[in-house]
């Protein structure tokens, strides 16, 4: 009367139950609905292209007003602000982002070139952090494609903050108030990604609507008559060819001495003009090669800087050579446009540039030059 | 029903292997199809394909933007945005593809995409920069030339050259980008060279000179960049990035399609297998459930059959036993009635004989005294009388006649005793349980068996050793107990007979162990008659036996210790109180014994080892019923072959005062 497989209770139940379970689990896994990405997130631009996508195009003007309807998660912005001012992230614990980017005076340091940890001059003038979210690339030579990349490089650069991710993260992870802030903003996740994202989000939130934006939106009284004339001169002289877009620059590279540089192609400086076309032999122009875009500074090519708040960010140019707005207008006209501008026009253009000075929402940006 | 179940069970057991094989097969198929259907990279590949598609869209968008900004004053935000999208998508694509197990051809295509994309982005940046310059020059040049020409009224040569330059440039500007404009370009370039040479020969104000040089710079820029940028735009439209990414998209799509094709089929296979497994499992469960029920039914049936069989066996035993008892008791009651009748009938003639013998002796004495007196008074009888006296030997008669009378007296006394024993044995005058003396019953039984105990030519006399304890009188059915005694003693005597015959090698009569209750009438009735004429030589009267045995009572000779040569047939009878409230009678012999194989059977009704017709097989079973059933006692047999046997009768008793 001894049974076989159907009789032996313990030998029958186990494999059968296992097989059934495998079958059911397998069916569930294989026939699960396709995963859908969550598109229903609150809209807050995360990078340059999304920032630009928020711009409302008004009219046919080459300059567009700053968007006014962007919302960022306030916890992340608040956290980013703290991190922006946090000196403990640097190696000597004395330097923060805000050391060089003074929000109250135009988002830069007011020096010709930046000063490193050892109080030695560095290579370039400090760009402003205001409206930097509308710059298509970061740094003078555009080697960083996002604010996050730029922030990480600055943190790790031994001449700047000189820190490391390990020490920065360990400081943040051991700090109670940061733990709470990260808990609110990122569910307690303290990592490279969240730290850089918080700071970048704070930077993207630094948008300074100006009287000129109001003018572009139709408020004819927002700027002075001089400024309006200055805007016309700005367009007529050709400044607008490079300083355009929502950030009035910041979306294009240009070589220094753009016009005159082409003379050499024709050998006009003492040589015979050949008429040879650039790149006609099949080789491409070497001036915008990848190396320039991604690595090291080029002595010739720079990202066209934004002109927003330009009145606050003296001294000017990549090396801070010129400290006066009128001078720099003249200088750029002669270097880039190969012409001189009449003094009254310079004055009007200056008025126009002054109308670009904006202020952070809820904050009064200092009006005086440093 | 039972046999049906066994058939099912058998078939299940035989097909056990096939169950395992089928289950294993299903499991293998399940695992195989699962791993075939489970492609963890599928989603990632699909996502890469999606990114490739978006990359293509972005490229088209960029091309559109390029056409929009080409040679027109415009802002580059849209183009920069699309370029940033492109960059983003390329990075995403790199991440997605990095760990995918792709064929090397596809991998190379992806690497080419990245490489071409870098070039593409650099080209776009260059385009943006140069386009700005070109646009600026176009904006600036027409009004500027007009101004300068009016200022240079003093130099008509230069004026006309500048006017020609302006016209040439205008013609050049409106020419389509794809037209071969080498001639026009050459003309403009030579014109510019001429103006430069003119400038060297003419003295001009510095402002004018610079203005003309600036004009020439712009002219150079237009000549240099316009056609170049036009070609660039065309090249962007057919950039290798576009082709490569389209190719890659197609390849990846093809690969995905093939993968999906197979994955779908494996999923269907998996689903079928899983469903089959589930169904098969359910089927097995159902089978098992039915099987269990069958088994339960079978077990139930089996137990019922066993129970019924036990009941039937018990009933059979009961029936046999009661039948035996009925037969026996009927026999005994008729025998008892017969014995009672006979004893009653014999008792009277015997008392006549006994009573008349006294008178007969007196009369004979008187007669002999008369004869003696007659002889004395008449000393000379007639010769004829003398002759008769001589011939008849009157003296002998005179002596022998007294002996004869004594002998008759003895015989009559024995008859009377036998009759009395019969009456005690049968107890027909008494019924139900009585308070009796066990010893009296034993003695009367021995008395009845006297004829079998006596020695005869075939066997020496059987010695009886009595070991009677100080027994209380007990209440019992004495006639039934007497039957038990006579049965057991008969068995013992048969066993002793057999043993003796076996020892003597005689084959007169081969009796096995007897379980018969009664002496076989044929042999039992004849022998006492044969011995009846030697009555007064009979040594084993009850009194004599009592006397001769009394000294041996305490002795219990061990059967094993009796040597073969010294062997004498013996029976030991012992009575005692083994414990208060119990009477025990032990009857033991040193006969042939009972082999242990049949110990369990000897009490069965109609079981006998004797030949057909010699034993009824009822003796021991009746005894068992009397002792166990009627007296609530115990009957135990202890024996081994060749070592005699011992029956122990234990009966509970109320102690009588």
pLDDT at residue A280 is higher than 60: no
Contacts of residue A212, defined as CB under 8 A and 6 or more positions apart, other chains included, come to A63, A65, A222, A223, A227, A231, A352, A355, A356
B49 lies within 8 A of chain A by CB: no
Question: How high is the pLDDT of residue B179?
Answer: 63
More reliable by pLDDT, B439 or B202: B439
Contact A12 B288 (CB under 8 A): yes
**Tell me, what's the pLDDT at B336?**
72
Please state, in angstroms and rounded to a whole number, the distance separating the CA atoms of residues A273 and B220: 10
Preceding peptide of A315 cis, ω within 30°? yes
Q: Answer whether residue A364 shows pLDDT above 50.
A: no
- Give how far Cα B353 sits from Cα of A85, B347, B532, Å: 158, 10, 18
Q: How confident is the model at residue B563 (pLDDT cuts 50, 70, 90)?
A: very low
* Contact B26/A at CB under 8 A: yes
Residues of B in contact with A254 (CB under 8 A): 129, 132
Min Cα–Cα distance to chain B from A130, Å: 18
Whether the per-residue pLDDT at A366 is higher than 70: the answer is no
How many interchain CB pairs under 8 A, A with B? 216
Residue A198 pLDDT level (bands cut at 50, 70, 90)? very high
What pLDDT is recorded for position B508? 41
- Rounded to 5 degrees, φ, ψ at B597 are -60, -35
The pLDDT of residue B562 is above 70: no
Q: What angle do CA B194, B200, B205 make, to 5 degrees?
A: 115
Q: Tell me the C-alpha distance between B279 and B285, whole Å.
A: 10
Q: Write the Ramachandran bin of A366: left for phi over 0, alpha for psi from -120 to 50, otherwise beta.
A: beta
Identify the closest residue of chain B to A255 by CA–CA distance.
Answer: B129
**Each residue of B313-339: pLDDT tens digit?**
999 988 888 887 788 777 777 777 777
pLDDT band for position B177 (cuts 50, 70, 90): low
Q: Is there a contact between B227 and A277 if contact means CB atoms under 8 Å apart? A: yes
pLDDT band at A346 (very low <50, low <70, confident <90, very high): very high
CB atoms within 10 A of CB B479: 22
Cα dihedral A12→A17→A19→A25 (10° resolution): 180
**Of residues A16, A255, A339, nearest to B284 (C-beta):** A16
What gap in Å lies between CA A98 and CA A95, rounded to an integer?
8
Question: If you measure CA to CA, which chain B residue comes closest to A284?
Answer: B123
CA B248 to chain A, closest CA, distance in angstroms equals: 23
Give me the helices (H) in B15-103, please: 16-37, 42-69, 77-98
How near does any CA of chain A get to the CA of B105, in Å? 25
Question: What is the three-class DSSP state of B636?
Answer: strand
Q: Taking CB atoms and an 8 Å limit, are A52 and B221 in contact across chains?
A: no
Token pair listed for B573: 């009878």
CA dist B456 and A176 (Å) reads: 127
Nearest-by-Cβ selection for A240 from B73, B79, B189 = B73
> Both ends of chain B: CA-CA distance in Å?
65
Collect all residues with Cβ–Cβ distance below 8 Å to B200 and sequence separation of at least 6: none
Is the pLDDT higher at B307 or at B477? B307
pLDDT tier for residue A169 given thresholds of 50, 70 and 90:
very high
% of chain A surpassing 90 pLDDT: 36
Judged against a pLDDT cut of 60, whether residue A165 lies above it is answered with yes
Dihedral (CA of B382, B388, B394, B395) sign: positive
Tell me the mean pLDDT in the region B64-73. 83
> B487 falls in which pLDDT band (50, 70, 90)?
confident
Note whether A231 and A109 are within 8 A (CB): no
Residue A274's CB is within 10 A of a number of other CB atoms, namely 10
Q: How confident is the model at residue B430 (pLDDT cuts 50, 70, 90)?
A: low
d(CA B593, CA B496): 9
Taking 60 as the threshold, does the pLDDT of residue B6 lie above it? no
Q: What is the pLDDT of residues A245-261, one digit of tens each?
A: 999 999 988 877 777 66
User: What pLDDT does B490 receive?
Assistant: 86
Neighbours of A344 (CB within 10 A): 11
**pLDDT for residue A2:** 44
Confidence of residue A335 (pLDDT cuts 50, 70, 90): confident
Residue A248 DSSP SS3: coil
Residue of B nearest to A260 (CA): B217
Please list, in sequence order, all residues whose beta carbon lies within 8 angstroms of the beta carbon of residue B609, skipping any fewer than 6 positions away: B512, B513, B514, B515, B598, B615
Backbone φ and ψ of B652, nearest 5°:
-75, 145
Tell me which residue in B27, B118, B278 faces A290 most closely, judged by beta carbons: B118
Predicted local distance difference test score (pLDDT) of residue A363: 56
Degrees, nearest 5: CA angle A116-A119-A121: 65
* C-alpha–C-alpha distance, residues A209 and A217, integer Å: 11
Sign of CA dihedral A310, A313, A319, A321: positive
Element (H, E) at A300: none
Q: What is the CA B460 to chain-centroid distance, rounded?
A: 64
Decide if pLDDT at A6 tops 80.
no
Are the C-beta atoms of residues A350 and A342 closer than 8 Å to each other? Answer: no
Mean pLDDT of B599-618: 76
DSSP designation for B219: H
Q: Which of B83, B114, B126 to mutate to test the interface with A (most CBs of A within 10 A)?
A: B126
Q: Is A361 in a helix, a strand, or coil?
A: coil
Write out chain A residues lying below 8 Å of B132, CB-based. 241-242, 252, 254, 258
Q: What is the mean pLDDT of residues B405-424?
A: 82
**Structure confidence by residue, pLDDT tens digits, A347-362:** 999 999 999 998 876 5
Mean pLDDT, residues B208-215: 82
The pLDDT of residue B469: 87
CA distance A63 to chain B (A): 7
Least confident of A38-42, B212-216, B389-393: A38-42
Chain B hits for A259, Cβ within 8 Å: 133, 137, 214, 217-218, 221
Q: What is the mean pLDDT of residues A136-152?
A: 88
Residue of B17, B43, B120, B136 to mutate when probing chain A, most A C-beta within 10 A: B136
Q: In chain A, pLDDT over 70 holds for what percent of residues?
A: 79
Q: Looking at beta carbons, which residues of chain B come within 8 Å of A290?
A: 118-119, 121-122
Query: What is the dihedral angle through the alpha carbons of B313, B315, B318, B322, rounded to the nearest 10 degrees?
Result: -130
pLDDT band at A262 (very low <50, low <70, confident <90, very high): low
Mean pLDDT of chain A: 80
DSSP 8-state class, residue B503 = H
CA distance A166 to A170: 6
pLDDT at A370 over 80: no
Any A CB within 8 A of B73 CB = yes
For testing contact with chain A, the best of B133, B195, B207, B299 (most A CBs within 10 A): B133
Position B603 pLDDT exceeds 60: yes
- Report the C-alpha gap between A298 and A291 in whole angstroms: 9
Kindly identify which residue of chain A lies nearest to residue B28, measuring between CA atoms.
Answer: A19
Between CA B636 and CA A123 the distance in angstroms is: 127
**Helix intervals (H) in A32-164:** 48-53, 74-84, 97-100, 147-156
Beta-bridged to residue B456, according to DSSP, are B459
Angle, CA B30 vertex, CA B26 and CA B35 arms, to 5°? 155
Q: What are the tens digits of pLDDT across the range A13-25?
A: 676 777 778 778 8
Residue of B nearest to A259 (CA): B217
User: In the beta sheet, which residues pair with residue A138?
Assistant: A144
Q: Does residue A214 surpass a pLDDT of 60?
A: yes
CB contact under 8 A, B132 and A241: yes
A29-38 pLDDT, tens per residue?
Answer: 777 776 554 4
Are B639 and B591 in contact, with CB atoms under 8 Å apart? no
User: According to the model, what pLDDT value does residue A11 have?
Assistant: 56
Across-strand partners of B132?
Answer: none
Is a pLDDT exceeding 50 seen at residue B83?
A: yes
User: Under a CB-based contact definition with an 8 Å cutoff, are residues B480 and B431 in contact?
Assistant: no
Contacts of A339 in chain B (CB under 8 A): 140, 214
Q: Is the pLDDT of residue B606 over 80?
A: no
- Candidates A238, A277, A338; nearest CB to B217: A338
- DSSP code of B611? P
Residues B236-249: tens digit of each pLDDT: 888 888 889 889 99
How open is the CA angle B66-B72-B75, to the nearest 5 degrees?
A: 70
Residues B281 and A20: their CA atoms lie apart, in Å, by 8
Task: With beta carbons under 8 A apart, name residues in chain B contacting A242.
Answer: 132
At residue A164, the pLDDT reads: 92
Contact B228 A279 (CB under 8 A): yes
Work out whether strand B463-467 and strand B570-576 pair parallel, antiparallel, or are unpaired: parallel
The answer to whether residue B466 scores a pLDDT higher than 70 is: yes
Task: For residue B569, name the pLDDT band (cuts at 50, 70, 90).
Answer: confident
Interface of B with A in 206-245 (CB under 8 A): 214, 216-218, 220-221, 223-225, 227-228
Residue B513: pLDDT band (50, 70, 90) is very low
B631-636 average pLDDT score? 86
Strands in chain A per DSSP E: 253-255, 301-303
pLDDT score of B28 more than 70:
yes
What's the confidence (pLDDT) of residue B533?
A: 37
Mean pLDDT (chain B, rounded) = 79
Question: Which residue in chain B has the smallest CA separation from A238?
Answer: B136
- Pick from A338, A339, A342 the residue to mutate for testing the B interface (most B CBs within 10 Å): A338
Lowest mean pLDDT among A284-298, B437-451, B592-606: A284-298
A-chain CB neighbours of B277 within 8 Å are 19-20, 23
CB contact under 8 A, A30 and B121: no
Sign of the four-CA dihedral B514, B520, B526, B532: positive
**Taking 70 as the threshold, does the pLDDT of residue B506 lie above it?**
no
* The dihedral formed by the CA atoms of B38, B41, B43 and B45, expressed in degrees to the nearest 10: -140
* Structure-model confidence comparison of residues A5 and A195, the more confident one: A195
Q: A9, A238, A260: which to substitute to probe chain B, counting the most B Cβ within 10 Å?
A: A238
Using DSSP's 3-state secondary structure scheme, residue B465 falls into: strand
Report the catalytic residues of A.
160
Looking at chain B from residue 260 to 319, which residues have their Cβ under 8 Å from any Cβ of chain A? 267, 270-271, 273-275, 277-278, 281, 284-285, 287-288, 291-292, 295, 298
Could you tell me if B119 lies within 8 Å of chain A, comparing CB atoms?
Answer: yes
**pLDDT for position A133:** 92
Query: How far is residue B65's CA from residue B58's CA, in Å, rounded to a whole number?
Result: 10
Whole-number pLDDT of residue A349: 94
Q: Can you tell me the distance from the alpha carbon of B560 to that of B643, in angstroms, rounded to the nearest whole number?
A: 7
Q: What digits encode the pLDDT tens for the residues B334-356?
A: 777 777 777 778 888 888 888 88
Question: Which residues make Cβ contacts (< 8 Å) with residue B511, sequence separation at least 6?
Answer: B494, B497, B498, B501, B610, B611, B614
**Given this model, what pLDDT does residue B540 score?**
38
Q: Which residues of B touch A5 (CB under 8 A)?
A: 16, 19-20, 284
């Amino acid at each position: 009367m001894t049974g076989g497989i159907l009789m032996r209770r313990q030998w029958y139940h186990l494999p059968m139950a296992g097989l059934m379970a495998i079958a059911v689990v397998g069916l569930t896994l294989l026939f699960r609905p396709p995963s859908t990405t969550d598109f229903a997130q609150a809209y807050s631009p995360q990078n340059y292209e999304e920032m630009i996508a928020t711009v409302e195009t008004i009219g046919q003007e080459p300059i567009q007003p700053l968007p006014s309807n962007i919302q960022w998660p306030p916890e992340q912005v608040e956290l980013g602000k703290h991190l922006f001012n946090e000196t403990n992230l640097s190696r000597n614990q004395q330097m923060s982002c805000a050391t060089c980017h003074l929000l109250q005076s135009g988002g830069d340091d007011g020096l010709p070139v930046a000063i490193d940890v050892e109080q030695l001059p560095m290579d370039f003038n400090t760009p402003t952090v205001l409206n930097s979210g509308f710059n298509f690339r970061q740094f003078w030579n555009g080697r960083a494609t996002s604010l996050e990349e730029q922030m990480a490089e600055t943190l790790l650069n031994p001449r700047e903050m000189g820190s490391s991710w390990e020490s920065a993260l360990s400081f943040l992870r051991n700090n109670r108030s940061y733990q709470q802030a990260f808990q609110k903003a990122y569910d307690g996740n303290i990592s490279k990604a969240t730290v850089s994202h918080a700071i970048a989000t704070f930077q993207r939130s630094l948008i300074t609507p100006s009287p000129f934006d109001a003018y572009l939106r139709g408020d004819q009284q927002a700027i002075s008559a001089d400024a309006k004339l200055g805007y016309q001169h700005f367009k007529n002289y050709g400044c607008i060819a490079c300083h355009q877009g929502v950030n009035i620059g910041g979306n294009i590279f240009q070589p220094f001495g753009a016009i005159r540089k082409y003379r050499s192609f024709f050998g006009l400086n003492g040589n015979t003009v050949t008429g040879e076309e650039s790149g006609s032999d099949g080789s491409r122009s070497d001036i915008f090669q990848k190396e320039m875009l991604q690595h090291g500074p080029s002595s010739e090519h720079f990202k066209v800087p934004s002109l927003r708040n330009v009145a606050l960010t003296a001294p000017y140019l990549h090396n801070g050579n010129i400290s006066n707005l009128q001078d720099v207008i003249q200088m750029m006209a002669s270097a880039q446009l190969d012409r001189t501008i009449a003094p009254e026009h310079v004055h009007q253009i200056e008025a126009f540039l002054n109308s670009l000075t904006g202020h952070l929402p809820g904050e009064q940006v200092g009006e005086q030059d440093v | 029903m039972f046999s049906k179940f066994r058939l099912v069970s058998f078939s299940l057991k035989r097909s056990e292997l096939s169950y395992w094989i089928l289950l294993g097969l299903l499991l293998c198929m399940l695992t195989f199809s699962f791993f075939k259907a489970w492609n963890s990279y599928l989603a990632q590949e699909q996502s890469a394909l999606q990114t490739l598609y978006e990359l293509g869209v972005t490229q088209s968008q960029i091309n559109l933007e390029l056409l929009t900004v080409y040679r027109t004053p415009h802002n580059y935000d849209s183009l920069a945005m699309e370029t940033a999208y492109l960059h983003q998508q390329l990075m995403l694509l790199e991440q997605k593809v990095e760990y995918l197990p792709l064929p090397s051809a596809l991998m190379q295509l992806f690497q080419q995409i990245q490489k071409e994309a870098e070039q593409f982005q650099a080209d776009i940046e260059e385009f943006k920069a140069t386009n700005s310059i070109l646009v600026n020059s176009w904006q600036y040049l027409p009004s500027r030339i007009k101004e300068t020409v009016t200022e240079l009224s003093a130099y008509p040569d230069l004026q006309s050259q500048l006017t020609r330059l302006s016209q040439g440039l205008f013609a050049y500007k409106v020419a389509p980008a794809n037209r071969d404009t080498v001639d026009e370009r050459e003309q403009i370039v030579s014109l510019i060279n001429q103006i430069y040479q003119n400038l060297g020969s003419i003295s001009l104000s510095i402002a004018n000179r610079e203005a003309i040089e600036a004009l020439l710079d712009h002219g150079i820029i237009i000549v240099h960049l316009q056609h170049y940028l036009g070609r660039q735009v065309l090249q962007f439209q057919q950039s290798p990035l576009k082709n490569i990414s389209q190719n890659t998209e197609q390849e990846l799509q093809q690969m995905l399609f093939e993968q999906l094709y197979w994955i779908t089929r494996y999923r269907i296979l998996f689903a079928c297998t899983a469903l089959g497994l589930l169904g098969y499992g359910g089927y097995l469960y159902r089978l098992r459930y039915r099987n269990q029920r069958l088994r339960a039914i079978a077990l139930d049936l089996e137990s019922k059959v066993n129970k019924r069989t036990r009941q039937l066996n018990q009933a059979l035993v009961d029936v046999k036993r009661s039948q035996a008892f009925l037969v026996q008791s009927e026999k005994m009651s008729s025998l008892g009635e017969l014995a009672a009748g006979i004893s009653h009938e014999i008792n009277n003639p015997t008392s006549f004989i006994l009573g008349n013998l006294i008178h007969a002796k007196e009369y004979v004495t008187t007669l002999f005294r008369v004869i003696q007196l007659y002889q004395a008074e008449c000393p000379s009888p007639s010769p004829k009388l003398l002759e008769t006296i001589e011939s008849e030997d009157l003296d002998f008669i005179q002596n022998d006649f007294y002996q004869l009378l004594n002998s008759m007296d003895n015989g009559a006394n024995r008859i009377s005793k036998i009759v009395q024993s019969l009456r005690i044995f049968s107890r027909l005058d008494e019924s139900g349980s009585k308070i009796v003396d066990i010893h009296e019953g034993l003695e009367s039984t021995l008395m009845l068996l006297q004829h079998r105990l006596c020695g005869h030519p075939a066997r020496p006399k059987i010695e009886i050793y009595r070991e009677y304890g100080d027994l209380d009188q007990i209440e019992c059915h004495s006639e039934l107990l007497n039957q038990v005694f006579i049965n057991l003693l008969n068995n013992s005597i048969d066993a002793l007979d057999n043993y003796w015959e076996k020892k003597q090698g005689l084959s007169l009569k081969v009796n096995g162990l007897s379980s018969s209750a009664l002496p076989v009438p044929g042999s039992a009735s004849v022998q006492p008659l044969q011995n009846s004429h030697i009555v007064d030589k009979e040594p084993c009267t009850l009194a004599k036996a009592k006397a001769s045995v009394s000294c041996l009572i305490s002795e219990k000779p061990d059967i094993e210790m009796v040597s073969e040569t010294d062997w004498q047939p013996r029976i030991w009878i012992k009575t005692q109180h083994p414990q208060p409230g119990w009477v025990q009678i032990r009857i033991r012999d040193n006969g042939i014994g009972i082999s242990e194989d049949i110990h369990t059977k000897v009490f069965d009704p109609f079981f006998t080892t004797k030949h057909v017709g010699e034993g009824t097989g009822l003796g021991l079973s009746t005894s068992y019923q009397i002792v166990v059933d009627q007296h609530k006692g115990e009957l135990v047999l202890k024996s081994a072959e060749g070592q005699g046997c011992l029956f122990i009768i234990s009966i509970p008793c109320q102690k009588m005062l």
